[in-house]
A and B are shown apart, each in its own frame.
Chain A
Amino acid sequence: MSLRIVLTLARKDLALEARTFDILALMAILAVTLLVAFRVAFDAGSAPVSAAAALWVTTAFLAALGLARPFHAEAEAGTLDLLFASPATAIDLYLAKVIAAAAVAAFGALTTLALVLFLFGPDLVREPLAVALLLALGVVGLAAQASLLSAASAGARARGALFAVVFLPLVLPVLLWGVQGTQAAVDGSGTGTVFTACALLAAYDALFLSVNSVLARFVLQG
């Protein structure tokens, strides 16, 4: 593994995204739409959704939209074979995509957080450090899975829909623990729950970053 190659590839992906802002703009619009839908649909049915749930569900859906891009864009542009022919190993490629995906996911999470504070009230800022830590760990987990599954679905039929079908079940634990930890932080039901959620998320991130780095060799074969 070469850190220089990883950072170069990650910088390339981020520069491409910053130049066009395609996916970031779509994620921001989708965040607004989803959160408004939550408020309208659930409040009209007298079963209001919590701010914590709205935050994490929206972040997960934004990830399903925006994080398929790493390898799908390469496949569409016909640059996958060029990447494979480069000196970058499978681990280099995978980690570079994780860094770029984490940055995109972080944008989605922060945009969603700002919108949730606006639409649902300021409850989430009661424990800013806990919420920030949970979100950071969640973003890493989402990026770790998305980068590998983007490669796995790149050569498939209906790859956009397929990505969502294979991605969302694998990241449901992130959603579950994120909501539980955030809700506990907001309503003050105990630091034990927050700590447990952070520990589970950190274990998830460590486990899947290491395993996915190994599996990248098989998934990124031509």
Chain B
Amino acid sequence: MNAFPRSAPVTAPEPGETAPLAPRLARFSLPLILAAGLLLVLGTVLALTWVPPLDEGFVAPVAQRIFYFHLGAALASYVAVAVTAAASLLYLRKGDMLYDALARDSAGLALMFAAMVLIEGSLWATAEWGTAWRWEDARLDSYLILTLVFVGYLALRRAVDDPGRRARVAASYALLGSLLVPLSFASVYLWQSLHPRVIVPGGQGISAAGGMTVGIFVVAFTLLYVGLLLRRLDLSVLEERVGRLQRSVEA
């Protein structure tokens, strides 16, 4: 007796299935991206010209302004990782290929935001610490490891040809990678990190203007993530439909 059933053949979605939801949501993608763009411009102007510098505890208070971009991009990357993990879990439970497409597209965006975070962070570190990276910092190393895991996720997807198997192994790998996040947070707080602590009692001396600018960037990057995700998901659904039609014609 075969203990493991073969994967179900990929079929075209029936009317009323979740796939048609993607095109309906995709119409919001352009307004969301435009809104994000406007907020990013506003936030940049405020961060560079309006928010008073944080002099206390920083060697390079001008470079410290990168923090406003950096935090927004970092939070967006963690949201993208969480969505990838959730979509992967939903795929394993329900087998709907839409969740696989959602996980893949979210993982790509997570990598995009992670690249921003690493570049911005390195620029700040060069000004503040005199070096682009400190390998003894647990927080930096943890974030880099998470980025490499998602690079591995995309490499795994490219190497497996069968759609059903690709979705299963990719979903499993994404869940494994996401589990590193709580472990990494635990290690960062057990071993002292050189990275500035974002969540501290009293808010580390950030002003109300600074807090508002942080909020603008967080909203901007979140809107950018959602807008790009909806756009990519719509394209994925269209690609899947074209693929099914091609396979049915060839058959």
Contact = CB atoms under 8 A, between A and B. Distances in A.
Interface string B1-26: 11111110000000000000000000
Interface size band for B: 35 or more
A193 to B, nearest CB: 8
B3 A89 contact: yes
A215 B175 contact: yes
Q: Secondary structure at chain A's binding surface: helix, strand, loop or mixed?
A: helix
Contact of A196 (B159, B172, B190): B190
B165 A221 contact: yes
A177 B180 CA distance: 13
Contacts of B177: 169-170
B168 interface: yes
Q: Secondary structure at chain B's binding surface: helix, strand, loop or mixed?
A: helix
Interface size band for A: 35 or more
A16 to B, nearest CB: 22
Contacts of A85: 1-3
A156 B160 contact: yes
B119 interface: no
13 contacts: A85-B1, A85-B2, A88-B3, A149-B173, A152-B169, A155-B160, A165-B155, A172-B141, A208-B179, A211-B175, A215-B172, A215-B175, A217-B4
Interface of B: 1-7, 92, 138, 141-142, 145, 148-149, 151-153, 155-156, 159-162, 165, 168-169, 171-173, 175-177, 179-180, 183-184, 186-187, 190-191
* The 10 A-B residue pairs with the shortest CB-CB distance in the complex, in nearest-first order: A169-B148, A156-B159, A152-B169, A166-B152, A215-B172, A169-B149, A218-B168, A172-B145, A156-B160, A221-B4
Interface of A: 84-90, 145, 148-149, 152-153, 155-159, 162, 165-166, 168-170, 172-173, 176-177, 180, 193, 196, 200, 203-204, 207-208, 211-212, 215, 217-222
